[in-house]
Structure 1
Amino acid sequence: MNTPRAVPRASPGAAAAAPAWRTVLGVFKLRIGVLIMLTALAGIAATPNGTLAAWQVVLVACAVLVSSAAAGAFNQLVEADSDRRMARTRTRAFASGALRPGPRWHGLIAALLAVAVAATWAATNGLAALFLAAGALTYAVVYTLLLKRRTSWNIVIGGAAGSFAVLTGAAAADPSLSPQALALALTLLLWTPPHFWSLAIACHDDYAAAGIPMLPVVVGIPRAARIVHGHACAMVAASMLPLLPWTGGSAGAAYAIGAIAGGAWLLLRTQALALEPKRPRAMAAFFASMVQLSLLIVGVAVDAALR
């Protein structure tokens, strides 16, 4: 692993020039949070016998978004120093100096998570609340504090945070957890590594400069590209499980179309990356993973609407 080189504190000029509300909202990683919220809604939709009222669905979605925002803010708070070493992240609010870390931020983050968990418990059940808390703590504590700077397995284990969002929605709808919801949670667990490793290949120099042992930094870009393709194959296979008899064959035609089309596109992009491990190929694989997940979520939602 490369030794981290000293990088001057980023100038707060660009970040400070943005409206204050945008600077604050950027801390919470809301774009990622919306995606995680959608996976929780997919968990609800993937539960055939769910009995949630509309207000409960809205509350669970908001709770997942808030808990994700709390975990995202904690991640930026803790990683301000390493964020300054990376071109992709040095303009983040804490890294640039646009916002100052302090006890108030820790208190706000803890309060947001506590409110989200308590609301989920009160409106649905304890299992859904447990999964919600587990997802946020996996990202904030297990991934950010314990694994990210220590092992290239960081995102493999930390990827469980996305699976917990699916399980939160599914458990809120039915604590017994349907086979399709469990298969979707497994798919999310396997989705995160190839998605993030593709980005890590594209940003290899940034991670090397920050001394973060992402897979491409540890094993090299060519081998990492091959591993991305292998993991993508496993994830696409997992996404087909809801179509099989042992899951009750509960997924419908919309999900089948999304899983097959999205999976094929992703495998084409990751295979191209394995054959030519360059930044453009890595970014193409990264965006293909977003397309694939989006098609799965849309498929689940359409099938649920047609049931």
Structure 2
Amino acid sequence: MTPRIERGRSVLRAYVSLTKTRIIEQLLVVTVPAMFLAGRRTGGGHLPSVWLLIATLVGGAVAAASAHALNCVVDADIDAKMKRTQARPLAQAQVPKAHALVFGLVLGALSALWLGLTTNWLAAALSVTAIAFYVLVYTLLLKRRTSQNIVWGGAAGCMPVVIGWAAVTGRVDWPAFVMFGVIFFWTPPHFWALAMRYRDDYAAAGVPMLPVVAPPAQVSIRIVVYSWLMAAWSLLLVPVTSWVYAAVAVLAGGWFVVMAHRLHATVRAGGEARPMRLFHLSNTYLCGLFITVAVDAALGLPVLGWPF
């Protein structure tokens, strides 16, 4: 392999790394179930077409890539200080910041145009809103200023379900907001568990994540509170799903709450906390819950409806 080809491949890998593809995968996992539920319950009783699914996923992936690339531009200085992020392209000066900025902006414009032309302009507008919120509100305004950064800034990560719903129906109905809320309440336990593990990293970078500025017991009790809110909120989706979803939501939510309480009990007793267990469990929980939504909608099982 010639040096020129090798350099080209290295540059390509750097640009791909800017998009944080592993996070994109998780965002797409929640989009498809939202689209299935939208089509089955409020979009005429049919699952969305394969083309609509592909178009929405492509647009959503490019929008997420845009937000992540722009986030890397803003956070290049603190990424260089954190062991967990030191290998990122801008932290290693593998890509000029100006080029990364243009790359992120172009991706954002392309995602909006693609979604507008292939789905509808509401979905496109929501994707632009998500990008702007993630970059301007979370990354620029909140992240370095408040320990509530991930609580409110995490709203950007909830947008894929709303975008997917809008792509199918052309509007946003209440089940989309319920799914938005599940991810919203899931985000603090997910990221605070990670931040407990990498507390020193965030402290070195001057990022006031809650585990940096609050005692461990205060962090763990807030994780418990948000875990309860998440589990309870997930039950609001029961009226448009079947007993299958209801059973999974109760069991999986209960499991998560129990594990959150165990973490808090260990921290309060002064034992060795293992927050990454809850972090990995949070990924399993979210994927499992939304996969159940997709299966429930795909099978067209009878809905439980309102209990009154």
TM more than 0.5: yes
DSSP 3-state at the match of 1:150: coil
Map residues 41-80 of structure 1 onto 2, 5 A cutoff.
41-47=32-38, 48-50=41-43, 52-80=48-76
DSSP 3-state at the match of 2:42: coil
Matching residue's letter, 1:262: A
DSSP 3-state at the match of 2:91: helix
The count of residues paired between Structure 1 and Structure 2 equals 285
Matching residue's letter, 2:31: A
User: Per-residue deviation at 1:280?
Assistant: 4.9
CA pair 62-254 structure 1, distance change in 2 beyond 3 A: farther
Aligned equivalents of 2:273 and 2:181: distance in 1? 28
User: Per-residue deviation at 1:100?
Assistant: 2.8
Matching residue's letter, 2:250: I
Matching residue's letter, 1:31: R
- Structure 2 runs not aligned, ≥5 long: 1-6, 301-308
Aligned equivalents of 2:227 and 2:205: distance in 1? 27
Compute the TM-score of the two structures, normalised by the length of structure 2: 0.87
Aligned equivalents of 1:107 and 1:131: distance in 2? 21
1:140 to 121, 135, 142: 135
User: Per-residue deviation at 1:258?
Assistant: 2.9
User: Per-residue deviation at 1:255?
Assistant: 2.1
- Find the counterpart in structure 2 of residue 39 from structure 1: 30
- Structure 1 runs not aligned, ≥5 long: 1-15, 244-248
Does structure 2 conserve the Cα–Cα contact (< 8 Å) formed by 1:27 and 1:72?
yes
Task: Kindly provide the CA deviation profile for residues 34-72 of structure 1, in whole angstroms up to 9, marking residues without a partner as x.
Answer: 111222222212212336432121111111111101111
Aligned equivalents of 1:304 and 1:154: distance in 2? 34
- Single out whichever of 203-212 and 173-182 deviates more from structure 2: 173-182
1:184 maps to 2:201: no
Task: Kindly provide the CA deviation profile for residues 176-224 of structure 1, in whole angstroms up to 9, marking residues without a partner as x.
Answer: 4333222111111111111111111111111111110101112122211
User: Per-residue deviation at 1:265?
Assistant: 2.2
Task: Kindly provide the CA deviation profile for residues 138-196 of structure 1, in whole angstroms up to 9, marking residues without a partner as x.
Answer: 11111111110001111111111122111000111113433322211111111111111
Task: Kindly provide the CA deviation profile for residues 277-302 of structure 1, in whole angstroms up to 9, marking residues without a partner as x.
Answer: 37752111111111110111110110
1:293 maps to 2:286: yes
Aligned equivalents of 2:160 and 2:84: distance in 1? 26
DSSP 3-state at the match of 1:94: coil
Does structure 1 conserve the Cα–Cα contact (< 8 Å) formed by 2:29 and 2:287?
no
Does structure 2 conserve the Cα–Cα contact (< 8 Å) formed by 1:46 and 1:300?
yes
